[in-house]
Structure 1
Amino acid sequence: MSAAYDDVVVQIAEYAAHPERIESELALRTAHLSFLDATACAFLGLADAECRRTAEPLFPTAAPHPSRVLATGYATDPVQAAFSTGTLIRWLDFNDTWLALEWGHPSDNLAAILPLADHLAQRARATGGTPPTVRDVLVAMIQAHEIQGVLALGTALNRHGLDHVAYVRIASTAVATRLLGGSEEDMRRALGHAWVDGGALRTYRHTPNVTWRKSWAAGDAASRAVRLAYLALRGAESPRTPLTAKGWGFQDSLLGGHQVTLPQPLASYVMENVLLKPWFPAEYHGQTAVEAAFRLAPAVGDRVTEIDRIEIRTHEAAVRIIDKTGPLANPADRDHCLQYMVAIALLHGRLDEEHYTDEAATDPRVDALRERMIVTEDPEYSRAYLDPAERAVANALRITFSDGTDTGWQEIRIPIGHPRRRPEAEPLVRDKLRRGLGSALPDERAELVAERLADRDALLDTPADDLLDLLVVP
């Protein structure tokens, strides 16, 4: 008799198999907002030539009912389309975020969901079936957010040098298999393969090895998930204890024996509480520091050369991820540097994609300010970061001038994309969407598409391929 599947595999498959259980109106409303936000990110990412080169399909394809790639004119197979879509969404580090023991960006999973939904809708039309709708896309997003986010509540991959995109692969595999019509058994087999894939190293997110891979790693994970879903549907046999196998399983091989768990039941908690980045592109642990710097920028004015020191109080995760001194190699390095982001915000009173370019970084004032910054962990901020009742992402700044005067502490505990500041975020997401669409579409069409996407009630029953008709660029 074959061994039983790992309990975590069973729980994820059972949850993914029942999309009808998703009943939270708040989760559905937030999923729509997250979708608009991710769409904006994809369009904005196209402005970067390296992003376009990375996202372009490697080879032409003649696949029937090809998946269209969001924000482009590419049409390819669902596996390649997942990679390309994920690369576009993630490129600017501007999509939604989840912070727990592990960090991540749950809308990365849209990279697997959207191309599959487009492909399946076209196939359904050709065969007389019922195409999946935008509601189906949003429900799949809720499920993928939940799987990735609840895993992150219980296990910190980063503590073992592994990247969070392993959880993207797990979540996307479960949901992709279900979208393709797979049974719970198919999902369990697909998940077995997803876990034994192990995890990518975080090397490419940390000095001195930061590269653009951090912007396509999630697309790579989503693409792998789609491939594994197809393999499972073809009957590929799978390990049943990929996590718990003694000596050779994920837990013993990669986590030093730490047990992977789902610390709370899978429902819709993560989508309801996900963090958005509606205002400016910056690694999330530094969002409130940048906002505090915006508030202090008028006090700096033309006194930049008089600044003696800039103190930053932050939380442990920020110290570990984005506290960087010394040279920064490229834009991917700069948008993960707390000091760089704060310096730009103080100098310009804003922070946009172009501020991470080589041209912007040559401003000698940026490194001069970075050299005057002192970053320290505030234990209270670290506690509040992990408190499920608070989920703060706190930072505080104080600027002291050479004459001994200072600005006083500017503290912000809750970023603007937090659920407690959601009303402030919603109009910013819509502005971000218009800006993204306007970067690739004629003004009249961009406004029309923005209006169509913003009307959630009308959008929900739209077939997925009709949605992609709106979002491709000739």
Structure 2
Amino acid sequence: MTTDAGPTRVQQLAAFVDRARYEDLTEAAAEQLRIRVLDTLGVAIGALDAEPMIAIRELVDDLGGAPRSGLIGGGRTAPDRAAFVTSGLSRYLDFMDSYLAPGETCHPSDNLGAVLACADSVGASGKELLTALAVAYQVHTRLSDEAPVRAKGFDHTVQGAYAAAAGAAKALRLPAAQIAHAIAISGTANNALRVTRTGNLSHWKGLAYPQVAKEGTFAALLAARGITGPEEVFEGNKGFEDSIAGPFSIDWEAEDLESVLRTIIKKHNAEIHSQSALDAAQDVRAQDGFSASAITGVRLRTFDVAHSIIGGGEEGDKRTVRTKEEADHSLPWMLAVVLLDGELTPAQYHHERVLADDVHDLMRLVEIVPDDELSARFPQAMPADLEVTLADGTVFRSAADSYEGFHTDPLSWGGAREKFDALAAPFASAELRDRIAGIVEDLEHHEVADLMDALAQVRSSRA
């Protein structure tokens, strides 16, 4: 796959993927990758009882598939279907990690489903799994930096199509030429619309990336059988640059595997741009004299991206909340429930709480205001300035610009373990949680099969 001018850009990217080695990772990056694996698995286990995920698992079981890749909770299926299920589980709660670029936000942990399924299917080592995941993180974040697509009406899963295929192909141990074809096939075929996350939200909000994980895996499997893709997917006539992204440049020879250090992990079970605002709401609630029942007004000044996506700006009104999917992307609803309950966890997304009158009554009092000064500080900071007024005229204020899990205050292994235990406890005994976490903490000295054997013992709380 070359042109008269030399290697195509997808071939240059494939060469980066091919030469990546575990030894290229700094210890700091390797540690944060292990933390991301534990965090993502905890979120995935915590979604086992979600109705959409039960339906998807039943569908996969009905369809069958060559038993090459393991599933959380037991059973095996074809790698592309395993990628969809695992990615769906890790995405459903909307409690995963994120990457903030000026024009794009993505969730690089979405790639674990594809990487894990492919690594398991070939008997890969833990080092190979971590290396493939690091590759996916690097591709996803760098394309989000240099080729944002949100403003043009496309979803952040568009960049993910290149990342998922790159990670899957690396995990499958494909040579550089086949890696390039896998990336080209996946990138050409998966250009999703942003309507997924605007207006009234559907189950597809949490399944759009699992679809990309599935298709990126299948593209890698196709490439492994000799199927070729468009060699100029990036720069060609009506390619990615021409049709969607516009001109951009990434020197893949200069890239490392360290971008995981620039990603952040959610503290609250909420859309990423809400995290510091919810910290501020918790602080207000803890102040002496505060009474949620006496609130007459809530005003949040925040950065423009938060207002646009979850605050009622360009991506639609956020005061129509009927489902979990709409609730976790409504900043007025999330502020209201935290001011009332003091937390935002999967428990707040039970249907009765989503529709509760006290939350909806308070949500109507919430005003979200974009602020130019705060916007200028994003994405290096995530600023929020909250003011809550009570009936007697008392005003409570709190401001925050980061939180535990932001890149200025990275989540520690201990913090990750606490979150993992909280999410996985209904589905796994303390002994099993210790086993899973122990394997992940020392993953470079384990086989992927060890991890999958442990994950197979997790059981739905309905069992």
Q: What's the TM-score, normalizing by structure 1?
A: 0.89
Which residue of 2 is the match for residue 271 of structure 1? Answer: 260
1:25 paired residue number: 27
Matched position secondary structure for 1:59: helix
Q: What is residue 230 of structure 1 aligned with on the other side?
A: 221
Counterpart of 2:285 in structure 1 is 297
Q: Which residue of 2 aligns with 1:93?
A: 94
State, as a whole percentage, how many aligned pairs show the same letter.
26
Residue 453 of structure 1 aligns with an amino acid whose one-letter code is I
What SS class does the counterpart of residue 344 from structure 2 fall into?
Answer: coil
* Contact map agreement 1:8 1:261 (CA 8 A) in 2: no
Q: Which residue of 1 aligns with 2:383?
A: 394
SS at match of 1:332: helix
Provide the rounded CA distance (Å) in 1 between the counterparts of 2:172 and 2:354. Answer: 46
Q: Is residue 63 of structure 1 aligned with residue 56 of structure 2?
A: no
* 2:197 is aligned with 1:195: no
Give the CA deviation at 1:3.
5.7
From 406, 411, 415, the equivalent of 2:403 is 415
- The alignment status of 1:49 with 2:51, answered yes or no, reads yes
User: In the alignment, is the contact (CA less than 8 A) between 1:5 and 1:188 conserved in 2?
Assistant: no
- In the alignment, what sits opposite 2:315? none
Amino acid aligned to 2:433: A
Correspondence list, 1:121-270, <5 A: 121=123, 132-208=124-200, 210-246=201-237, 248-255=238-245, 258-262=246-250, 265-270=254-259
How far 1:301 sits from its partner (Å)?
6.8
State the alpha-carbon separation in 2 of the partners of residues 435 and 188 from structure 1: 40
Aligned residue type for 2:162: I
Aligned to 1:323: 311
2:429 to 442, 445, 465: 442
SS at match of 2:388: strand
Could you list the runs of 4 or more consecutive aligned residues of structure 1 that deviate by over 4 angstroms after TM superposition? Answer: 1-7
CA positional deviation for 1:396: 1.6
User: Which of 296, 306, 310 is matched with 1:308 structurally?
Assistant: 296
CA distance in 2, matches of 1:84, 1:116: 13
Given that residues 6 and 241 in structure 1 are in contact (C-alpha distance below 8 angstroms), is that contact kept between their aligned partners in structure 2? no
1:102 equivalent to 2:104? Answer: yes
Deviation of 1:441 after TM superposition, in Å, equals 2.1
Question: How far does residue 307 in structure 1 lie from its aligned partner after superposition?
Answer: 2.0
Residue of 12, 34, 37 corresponding to 1:35: 37
Q: CA deviation at 1:7?
A: 4.8
Query: How do residues 352-371 of structure 1 correspond to structure 2 at under 5 angstroms?
Result: 352-371=345-364
Q: In 2, are the aligned partners of 1:151 and 1:261 still within 8 Å (CA)?
A: no
Which whole-Å CA distance do the structure 2 matches of 1:10 and 1:83 have between them?
27
Q: Do the aligned partners of 2:432 and 2:454 also contact (CA within 8 Å) in 1? A: no
CA drift of 1:135 comes to: 1.9
| Counterpart Cα distance in 2 of 1:276 and 1:28 | 16
Aligned length: 448
RMSD value over aligned CA atoms?
Answer: 2.1
Instruction: Call closer, same or farther: CA 1:301–1:358 in 2, change over 3 Å.
Output: farther
| 1:62–1:226 distance in 2 versus 1, CA, 3 Å | closer
Distance 2:251 2:374 in 1: 23
Of residues 192-201 and 332-341 in structure 1, the stretch that sits farther from structure 2 once superposed is 192-201
Map of 1:461 onto structure 2: 445
Corresponding residue for residue 416 of structure 2: 429
TM-superposed deviation, 1:4:
5.6
TM-score (norm 2): 0.91
Deviation at 1:244, TM superposition (A): 2.5
Q: Structure 1 residues 237, 250: CA separation in 2 closer, same or farther (over 3 Å shift)?
A: same
Query: For residue 125 of structure 1, what is the aligned residue in structure 2?
Result: none
Alpha-carbon distance in structure 1 between the residues aligned to 2:351 and 2:227:
47
Q: Cα deviation per residue 1:83-126 (whole Å; 9 max; x = unaligned)? A: 011000111111111010211110111111111111111xxxxx
* C-alpha contact 1:103 1:152 (8 A) present in aligned 2: yes
Unaligned runs of 5+ in 1: 122-131
Question: Offset at 1:198?
Answer: 4.3
**Matched AA of 1:378:** D
Do the aligned residues in 2 keep the contact of 1:153 with 1:263 (CA within 8 Å)?
Answer: no
**SS in structure 2 opposite 1:310?**
strand
Instruction: State the alpha-carbon separation in 1 of the partners of residues 341 and 357 from structure 2.
Output: 14
CA distance in 2, matches of 1:455, 1:249: 41
Closer, same or farther: CA 213–301 of 1 in aligned 2, 3 Å? farther
Q: Secondary structure at the match of 1:225?
A: helix
Q: Extract unaligned runs of 5+ from structure 2.
A: 313-317
Q: CA deviation at 1:300?
A: 8.2
Distance in 2, Cα, partners of 1:414 & 1:461: 34
**CA–CA distance in 2 between the matches of 1:76 and 1:182?**
21
Match of 1:126 in 2: none
Output one character per residue of 1:50-99: Cα deviation in whole Å (capped at 9) or x when no partner: 222124415353625x2001x22231010110001100011111111101
Question: What are the equivalent positions in structure 2 for 1:76-87 lying under 5 Å apart?
Answer: 76-87=77-88
Residue aligned with 1:17, SS? helix
Rate the CA distance shift 1:436–1:362 in 2: closer, same or farther, 3 A: closer
Deviations for 1:391-424, whole angstroms, at most 9, x for unmatched residues?
Answer: 211212111223322113x11111211122125x
Could you say if the C-alpha distance between residues 263 and 297 of structure 1 is closer, same or farther in structure 2, counting changes exceeding 3 Å? farther
Distance 1:7 1:287 in 2: 40
The answer to whether the 8 Å contact 2:319/2:333 transfers is no
What is the DSSP-based 3-state SS (H/G/I as helix, E as strand, rest coil) of the residue aligned with 1:460? helix
The one-letter amino acid paired with 1:42 is A
How far apart, in 2, do the equivalents of 1:58 and 1:447 lie? Answer: 29
Identify which range, 47-56 or 24-33, moves more after superposition. 47-56
In the alignment, is the contact (CA less than 8 A) between 2:295 and 2:388 conserved in 1?
A: yes
